[in-house]
Structure 1
Amino acid sequence: MCYLKKSGTILKICPKIDKIKKVIQMKTYNKIFNAFNKLIQTKSFDDITVLEICQKANVSTSSFYRHYKDKYDVMNDNYKRILDQYINSKQNHNYEDVFINLFTMSKELHYLKNAFDYTGINSLGDFIYQYSYNTVIEMCKTKNIHFEDKDLLLLDVFCGGASIMYQHYILGKYDLSPKQAGHLLYQMFPENFKISW
């Protein structure tokens, strides 16, 4: 139960207010998220500004900064939502299915080319590397799978290379079908982590 202190008196606040605040917060997240996705379809990531996102979303910059740190945070949240959707999909039975579906999705979401224009710290590639690594580690912990430092090194190298491979695939460097690319990536995935699915 929430309480509000007003002029020396404590007032009880209905728990519905908390729910309403959360709904409003999610609506603002989604407005910003959708505005970013519209902009990234036609502009490179470097050319998008926080002010443009706010104008497109019809939110104030203070609202933006209450929800996100910067435009990189929006891009990463955007891709996290996509990754989570594919990882949690019932059509995936193992990591190979996830990889194939991500390569298939990349053919459908043309704006990813614009998102990959920016490289370096806070880039989409950097986020994919970190998020992939952390997701596999969490899945291992959930299933109580133990690993050694050499396994972590292999996973580190795999996630870094997979992120670069994915970026190159999206930018058209490889002439492979999503199934071929996903299968090849799965073959490179460290054996000790395949059982974590």
Structure 2
Amino acid sequence: MTDIVSRKVISLKTKRLILLALEELLDKFRFDEITVIQLANQAAISRATFYRHFTDKYEVANWYYRLKAEAVFQDERNKTPYDIFYGLSKFMGEDDKNFMQVMMNQKDDQNSFFNFVSNTFYDFWKQKYESKMARELTTQEAFDLAVWSLGGAEVWKHKLNNEVIDPQEMGELFDKSMPLWLVNVSE
């Protein structure tokens, strides 16, 4: 194994240790009560090691969500919007429900995980559209996509707090609520 590959593997393992530490701490503390020192101690690493991998605890949560979401976005089996929404709903509502529930409800507006989720969703569909159409979104399209992205994140948040997320139902609902101009791009 080359030095670069070896460092990347070690870095990924350290990031996963930090994530596991965060999940363990979330069983005992609210997210806003958790400190970087607690995360480092729980992961059995130094603060310096933590900061080599993440700038703060918010970046830990964002990294994990992006990692999981990108796996869904990039999975070649996910050819339709339904497939993508199903995959996102599965990991958010089943595989990682407790983590997602805590993170979607944290109150820090400056580093809002909720905003990160809706922005990730928005960026994915914006890039997909602009790549296929070879042009930027119009003002109206950007507005439609922003409303759909924020609304979608709010629906996931509501479902996480009040009921079980059924990935099939969520896939169908998101697919049917997709702006018409985006449906044509996704086919």
Q: TM-score scaled by structure 1?
A: 0.80
User: Are 1:27 and 2:17 counterparts?
Assistant: no
Structure 2, unaligned stretches of length 5 or more?
A: none
Partners of 1:186 and 1:64 in 2: CA distance: 39
Q: Which residue, out of 147, 172, 175, partners 1:186? A: 175
Q: Structure 1 or 2: larger strand share? A: 1
Q: Equivalent residue for 2:66?
A: 80
Give the secondary-structure state (helix, strand or coil) at the position aligned to 1:182: helix
User: Any conservation in 2 of the 1:43–1:114 contact (CA below 8 Å)?
Assistant: no
Q: Once the 2 structures are TM-superposed, how far is the Cα of residue 35 of structure 1 from its aligned partner?
A: 2.2
Q: Structure 1 or 2: larger helix share? A: 2
1:90-169 equivalences under 5 Å are: 90-108=76-94, 109-111=96-98, 112-119=100-107, 120-146=109-135, 147-169=137-159
Per-residue CA deviation, residues 95-135 of structure 1 (Å, 9 max, x unaligned), is 12221232233332232212223032312211011111111
The root-mean-square deviation of aligned C-alpha atoms, in Å, is 2.4
Partners of 2:27 and 2:80 in 1: CA distance: 31
Q: Which residue, out of 38, 43, 67, partners 1:57? A: 43
Q: TM-score scaled by structure 2?
A: 0.84
Structure 1 segments (4+ residues) deviating >4 Å: none
User: Any conservation in 2 of the 1:133–1:159 contact (CA below 8 Å)?
Assistant: yes
Partners of 2:165 and 2:10 in 1: CA distance: 43
Per-residue CA deviation, residues 39-69 of structure 1 (Å, 9 max, x unaligned), is 3355432232211211121111111112111
Structure 1, unaligned stretches of length 5 or more?
A: 1-15
Identity of aligned residues (%): 24
Partners of 1:75 and 1:135 in 2: CA distance: 18
Per-residue CA deviation, residues 125-159 of structure 1 (Å, 9 max, x unaligned), is 11011111111122223324433211111001111
How many residue pairs align between the two structures? Answer: 182
Structure exhibiting the larger radius of gyration computed from Cα positions: 1
